[in-house]
Structure 1
Amino acid sequence: MGVPVLRSTCLLLVLAFCADARAAAPDTDQARRIAEQFLATRQASAGPQEAYEAGDVAVADLDGDGESEVVVLWTMLGPTHWHHGVTVLARKGQHYAPAGETDEPLGSVEGMVVRNGTVELKTKWPGPNDARCCPTVPRTLRYRWSAGKLSPAK
């Protein structure tokens, strides 16, 4: 009678330890702080006339490995230019570090949604008669996280 109870207790302790060993996903405020820290390091290596701002920040398990990634939509602002980027930050030990980002132009990004392992960007692109400042052609861009990089998804 004592051995089955002891086995059950040991199994529960092992399961509890394994559950605690996997880090909890960051909440919204923590994810925003993680994104801001990432952009502060990027800002430190930027020119004096460039500034980085975080836009949308999402927490999701992009690759189904049980660990949440932080996805950051950011904007680099220069004196006469700007561009958007998306970076995935993955847990490395006790902190999050850049694990990959988009390498292609994103247009004027109006928002980001992350669902079902896909990063979806709502963008505007210049039409034939648009001024550079004011694109009007809507386009949705989708990316999947795979092998450490964001790749276009259909």
Structure 2
Amino acid sequence: MEEIIKWLGIISPMALGAIGSAIGCMIAGAGLAGALPRTKESHGGLIAMSAAPSSQTIYGLVLMMTLKGANGSGAQFLAIGLLCGVAIMISSVMQGRCCAAGIRATVEDKTVYGKCWIPVGVTESFAVFAMVFGMIALQA
């Protein structure tokens, strides 16, 4: 049973990060789909913004690989993996909402495009913090 709990903790950040990325990209992608018919040029930046929530899967992967190579109890792995995974997932979903809003704002006024990346980056940073926290918590 200890081994099962440990493996649940190890795979949680990756699985939850991927779930969050899928939902976040769906939200941002829906915003992109609504925006494309209203824009005649400069689609590349909007497409990039719609893909931004996919990066949280990478943070989940990095944390999963770190957990896999560490020593600790099943409870420790489960607590770190599950809590950090949930934080990464929520970050990605909320980032998708920021991206969709940024895409809509850019369609309305192209001059705000760069500023729309600020909330995207801020919500991304919480996934990075969760990953780093998980890596540090393993050392305790």
Q: Taking structure 1 as the reference length, what is the TM-score of the superposition?
A: 0.31
Per the normalisation by structure 2, the TM-score is 0.34
Higher strand share: 1
Greater RCO structure (CA 8 Å; 6+ sep): 2
